[in-house]
Structure formats: C-alpha cells, structure tokens
Structure 1
Amino acid sequence: MTKTQAGKSRASGRITLAMVAERAGVATMTASRAITQPEMVSQALRDRVDAAVAELGYVPNRAARALASSQSKVIAVLVPSLSNAVFTEVLAGIQDALDADDYQILIGNTRYSDKEEEKLIGTYLQSNPDGMLLSGLTHSPKVQQILTTSRVPVVSMMDMSTDPEQYTVGFSQFQAGYAMTRYLLDKGHKRIGFIGAQLDERTLRRAEGYRKAMQEAGRADAKLEVMVAEPSTIALGAELLGRMLAQAPDCDAIFCCNDDLAHGAIYQCQRRGIAVPTQLAICGFNDLPASAWMNPSLTTIGTPRYRIGFEAATLLRSVIKGEQPVTRQIDLGFTLMARESA
C-alpha cells in the first residue's frame, strides 16, 4: 500500500488491513493470514496482529475475504414463522452449530407462502451463500428450478424424504401422526377426531398418518376431521373444539395438529364442564414448554427441534467442505409423551 493510499484510508476514517499490518510490523499478506488462517502462523505473530486489530478497531471485510477464499461464509435459512416456538428452537440449533466456523446467517420468514419463499431465495442467492437450510420438502416448481440452476448445497429440515439423494434432517411427520392415533385407539377410543390448522405440509402429513391408523382400525369418518387454513393459535383451538363437537358429538378423543390448538381445546372443555380425559381425551403435537405444566398435563408428540437445527447445519457444513457424509438423511425420531390429558 502506498503512502497516498494509506493517507486516503486514514482520511476516510476506515481502518484497513494494510494499517493493521503496518501497526503490527508485518507484511499485509502476513496480517491477512494471521486473521483468516491463524493456524498457519506462529503464536507470537498472531498475538502481534491481534493486538493491532484490537488497538485500531479493525473489522475484516467479509466481501474481500469471500473473493479471496471463493467462499462467502454466508448461510441462508428459511423458516415459515419467526413467532412459532418450534422454529425459534430450530434456529438456535443452527446458530450454535455454525458459530465455530464464523458463518453469517441470513434468516428469512416465508410466512408459509410459496411466493415469499421464491422471493427470498432469489434475494439471498445474490449474496452467493455457501449453502441453504430450508424448512420442509415441498417447494414450488420455480424454487426447485432456481435451486437446481444455482447448484447451491441445500439441506431440508423437519421431515424425511423418500428421495435418497436429498439431504434431509428431521423425523417422519406421517409416522408421528400415525403413532399418536394408534396410541388413542389402543387406549380404547373409537371416535377420534383430528383438528388441523395452517394446513402446511407438516400438518397434512400428520393428518395422513391419522387417516392411515383410522382406516386400518375401520374407524375412518370424514365428520371426525376439522381442517382450516388459519394460523394455529390457542383461541382457534377453543373455536375448533366447538366445531368438532357440533359435527361429531359422539367424539371421544381429539388429536390436535399442534399443542397450541390442544391448549385451547382443553381450556374450552373446562369452560363447558367437559372432563378431560374421562369424557374427552385431548392430545397435541410438538411438546411446547407449557404442555407439561398445564392441568391436565398434555399428551403430545415430542419433537427434537434444537437437534434438527444443529444436525442440519452440521450436515450442510460438511457438504460445503466437500466431505462425504455417512448418510444424506438423518432421522432424529420423535417421542410420544403420554401424560394426563389422554
């Protein structure tokens, strides 16, 4: 760096790598290596450069580092909701897995919309991410085309794919729905209702598992299903309980696709004087923190949300590094939490 260039940098107030090198008494290339590849230099040299960085308040230029290494150190993550506790725990796992490698995470909220997902993926690809973590397995034809063309490594989260070539971390939503329904049937319930909201792909697969178990038992009945496209909330659970009992008054158990719906259904039962579980058994899905502490405590499906995020990010990181993972699909399973409500 010439004196004129150094003068310009000082005049602009921007601390450059060359200024750090000058303060540490080393070449610019050496300072760069000490910052980006500290294992390649001696501890004494690293300490000198670190001291200069701290003294000057130097912040590395991520874009310049990306050009030099051919990696952006950016991971794009798309989830359908930022207010849903399920996905906040997934995001926590992702962040913990990527922190050690100094990745910047771009988080996008698709709001359960294909159009929003298309827009976000198009926007994030402009940042040349090293990889993407996407929620779910089903995407619009446009998104599939964009991802195929971009050739960016992608790991899907929350469900299990039948495609052995797809990188996936999660559990079988279908099997979880089947297991909960089978549990209720084995407890002696015959008229088991299913309440579903949002109608995203995960809810639909849980419903498919429910139907499979009911058909096998010879108990399937369309009147036992209440499905709405509205977002899942406690208030909606209370409302849909009333709708279920209106169209199937002999219902003796209800499987709610989410815990918040189940919470609302139980509260509404208490208002109506319906004893849970002796008159009506109620169960949920996801094992949210409040579910174990309400009265009666909620029978539900426990899902490994933090581990899904952590393992998905770890798998993506290995793919980015060119490593050959032992498996492309990681099934973390689920746990049926049998409690007081069913």
Structure 2
Amino acid sequence: MNKRTTIADVAAYLGINKSTVSRALNNPNRVSTELKERIEVACKELNYIPNVAAKTLASSSSKSIVLVVPSFTNSVFAEIISVVKAECDELGYNLLIGDATYTKFGEEKVVENFLSRNVDGFILSETEHTLDTKRMIDSANLPTVEIMDSIEKPNFNANFGVNQIEAAACLTEYLITKGRKNIAFCSTWLDRRAMLRKLAWENTLEKHGMESHRFFQTKETTSFHNGENAISAILSQWPETDAVFFVNDDMAAGAIMQCQRFDIKVGKDLDIVGFNDLDFAGVINPRLTTIRTPRTKMAKLAVKTLVDIIEGKQVTSLSKELPFELMIRESA
C-alpha cells in the first residue's frame, strides 16, 4: 500500500524546512509568491492532499457546517441544499448534510452523529426539537440557525423563515374570494409546516362559516403520483369539492395532470393550489397558483449569519420573518 504524501515529503523534495511548507499552505500571504508557487507545483507532482483531521485537531475548527433537512427526496430541500452549498464554497466552508426523515428523533440522531466530527455549526430546517437535541447543541456551544418557519423566539442563535399560518390563510382567503365554498385540504405526513398550513385552512374556513371536514391525508411520500391518487380519492369522497389546497406543489401538479385525463377543467370546474412555487409551477398547464417562499434568501442569510457567528463577527440580524408571495395563475 502506498504511503500517503506528507508535508515532510514535500519539504524534502524541495530541500526546504517543513515549517516553511506548512506556512505556505496555511498562511500563503506569509511567504513569497515565487515560493508559494514552487510549493503548489510540488504538492501536485507528489499528489499531496492536506490532512483535514490533523488540521482540525490543531485548530479546533473543521471549517464544516452541517445542514439538516427533513428529506433528501423533497424538491424544496434540493434547492436549499444547492444554495447553502454554493454559499459555503464561497466562504471556504465544507458542507455536511443529514436527513432527519421528518422526525424530531431523526434530527436528534443526525445532530449526535455530527457532533462527534467536531463540526463548527448547524443549520436546522425545523424549529421543533427534542430536549436532547437542544441539550447536545447547547452543551457543545455550537452556533445554530433555524430556517423555513418563522418563530418569535429562536431556539438557538438565529431564525429565518416564513409565517406558515399567514401564508396558508392568504391562499385560503383567495379561494374564498373567488366564490369557492367546498374547499378541501390534502397533505401527506403532518410535519410542523403541514400542520400549520392545515390549521390556517381550518381557521379561515370557520371564520367564514364554512365547513372544514374535507381533509385528506395520504400515507405515501410527496410526489406527482401521490397527488394523482389523492385528487381521485378526494373527488370520490366529496364530489361537491370545488377547490383543493395541496400542502405542496408536487402533489398539486400530479392532481392537475389527473384532472386533465378525466376532462376536469382546472381553474373552472375545480381550483387547485399548491405551496412553495417550485420551478415547474410556472410552466405546467395550467400554471399553478401557489405561495412563493423565499428559499434562496433564507438559505443565504442562514449561511452568512452562521459563519459570522463562528468567526466572531458582528451579526446584524438574528431573527427575521421573510415575506411570502401569492402567485396567482390559471389553476385558480
């Protein structure tokens, strides 16, 4: 088995001190440009790869941030991951990602696992946590930012998100102003965000003296296929339904496609709305009425704030409710 190239090997190859090589790699501004270039060339020729674990032990910092998402399969979080990764790359941090499987205990396991790797901070995409998760993060004294939902008081250092209740109430009110009277709500598992949207739907209907019993919950993961099956079940159980509020855009899009197969005119015979405004929402036919959430902005804010806290910089905002936007299109 070939021995891994070390700083000592690079130094011997160039005939210079090991400390000089180390200084050039870790603090390049402290050596001449000519020497730095010679060392870089030697590192490439000898296939030298820095030992991150050793640097972590020496500096007590791994330059690593952990992003915990509820699911790798949810399209909403694919965008979050992409933006956070780009921001981390720009700021010189490694991104580690964990899947909490939509449970508080799943999040707890992810946090426990990454704490053993000497990471520098967490971005959590949930705002409800187990007591042990809070205890572990507090004991480790690690900077942590929550995103997605806005809450009055962050559990950790900062929070950037949308008021889920206000957004869902806005969407429900819009359907009512269009004259829809039999509005159903469809969800998969009821995580915190889904529960808040459902609660807003219920409260808004009841405020207008309307019935809120048309709630349909599937046991499958969120997908076009799931939405396709859900709309068939909803219209079979409540044929008088004139609008359906889907908990996300994926299911709403699947429902639209199923309606087209049965010649149900979406936007006329039946209104369909979603939530999040994913890329496809504005291009499917008919285009989807939905709530646009500022996922890119919250992800960028989270990374910048977290890195500022890690590096001891002054932080201008530790909590911010970001605005949502009602995107009115042909589906409603």
Query: Does residue 174 of the first structure (1) align with residue 173 of the second (2)?
Result: no
Q: How does 1:32-71 map to 2 (within 5 A)?
A: 32-71=22-61
The match for 1:270 among 260, 280, 283 is 260
What corresponds to 1:119 in structure 2? Answer: 109
Q: Structure 2 stretches of 5 or more lacking a match?
A: none
Distance in 1 between residues matched to 2:30 and 2:189, nearest whole Å: 52
What corresponds to 1:80 in structure 2? Answer: 70
Instruction: Please state how far the C-alpha of 1:223 moved relative to its aligned partner.
Output: 1.7
SS at match of 1:158: strand
Q: How does 1:80-159 map to 2 (within 5 A)?
A: 80-159=70-149
Query: Does residue 161 of the first structure (1) align with residue 151 of the second (2)?
Result: yes
Distance in 2 between residues matched to 1:38 and 1:196, nearest whole Å: 54
Instruction: Please state how far the C-alpha of 1:202 moved relative to its aligned partner.
Output: 1.3
What corresponds to 1:7 in structure 2? Answer: none
SS at match of 2:149: coil
> Could you tell me which amino acid in structure 1 is paired with residue 267 of structure 2?
P
SS at match of 2:314: coil
Distance in 1 between residues matched to 2:315 and 2:121, nearest whole Å: 15
The match for 1:208 among 181, 195, 199 is 199
Instruction: Please state how far the C-alpha of 1:229 moved relative to its aligned partner.
Output: 4.5
Verify the 8 A CA contact 2:186 2:244 in the aligned structure 1.
yes
Verify the 8 A CA contact 1:303 1:335 in the aligned structure 2.
yes
Q: Percent identity?
A: 37
Cα–Cα, structure 1 residues 42 and 174, in superposed 2: closer, same or farther, change >3 Å?
farther
What corresponds to 1:339 in structure 2? Answer: 329
Q: Structure 1 stretches of 5 or more lacking a match?
A: 1-10
Deviations 1:248-307 (A, max 9, x none): 333221111111111122223223332211111111112222222222111111223333
Distance in 1 between residues matched to 2:157 and 2:238, nearest whole Å: 41
Cα–Cα, structure 1 residues 266 and 12, in superposed 2: closer, same or farther, change >3 Å?
closer
Distance in 1 between residues matched to 2:299 and 2:29, nearest whole Å: 29
RMSD: 2.0
> Could you tell me which amino acid in structure 2 is paired with residue 295 of structure 1?
N
User: Structure 2 length normalisation: TM-score?
Assistant: 0.92
> Could you tell me which amino acid in structure 2 is paired with residue 175 of structure 1?
E
> Could you tell me which amino acid in structure 2 is paired with residue 65 of structure 1?
K
What corresponds to 1:224 in structure 2? Answer: 214
Distance in 2 between residues matched to 1:168 and 1:48, nearest whole Å: 46
Cα–Cα, structure 1 residues 166 and 174, in superposed 2: closer, same or farther, change >3 Å?
farther
Deviations 1:165-213 (A, max 9, x none): 6411222222221121122122222222211112111111222222332
Distance in 1 between residues matched to 2:29 and 2:147, nearest whole Å: 34
Deviations 1:43-65 (A, max 9, x none): 22322221221221111111111
Instruction: Please state how far the C-alpha of 1:68 moved relative to its aligned partner.
Output: 2.1
Structure 1 stretches (4+) deviating beyond 4 angstroms? none
Which shows bigger deviation, 227-236 or 152-161? 227-236
> Could you tell me which amino acid in structure 2 is paired with residue 192 of structure 1?
I
Verify the 8 A CA contact 2:79 2:296 in the aligned structure 1.
yes
Instruction: Please state how far the C-alpha of 1:326 moved relative to its aligned partner.
Output: 0.7
Distance in 1 between residues matched to 2:29 and 2:292, nearest whole Å: 42
Cα–Cα, structure 1 residues 140 and 58, in superposed 2: closer, same or farther, change >3 Å?
same
What corresponds to 1:316 in structure 2? Answer: 306
Query: Does residue 186 of the first structure (1) align with residue 198 of the second (2)?
Result: no
Instruction: Please state how far the C-alpha of 1:92 moved relative to its aligned partner.
Output: 0.7
Which shows bigger deviation, 87-96 or 249-258? 249-258
Which shows bigger deviation, 226-235 or 282-291? 226-235
Deviations 1:10-57 (A, max 9, x none): x95221112223334443222212212223333223222212212211
What corresponds to 1:196 in structure 2? Answer: 187
The match for 2:276 among 274, 286, 304 is 286
How many residue pairs get matched? Answer: 331
> Could you tell me which amino acid in structure 2 is paired with residue 267 of structure 1?
M
Verify the 8 A CA contact 2:70 2:100 in the aligned structure 1.
yes
> Could you tell me which amino acid in structure 1 is paired with residue 113 of structure 2?
T
SS at match of 1:223: coil
What corresponds to 1:29 in structure 2? Answer: 19
Verify the 8 A CA contact 2:65 2:121 in the aligned structure 1.
yes
Instruction: Please state how far the C-alpha of 1:247 moved relative to its aligned partner.
Output: 4.0
Distance in 2 between residues matched to 1:229 and 1:318, nearest whole Å: 41
Cα–Cα, structure 1 residues 100 and 23, in superposed 2: closer, same or farther, change >3 Å?
farther
Distance in 2 between residues matched to 1:232 and 1:254, nearest whole Å: 16
Verify the 8 A CA contact 2:205 2:212 in the aligned structure 1.
no
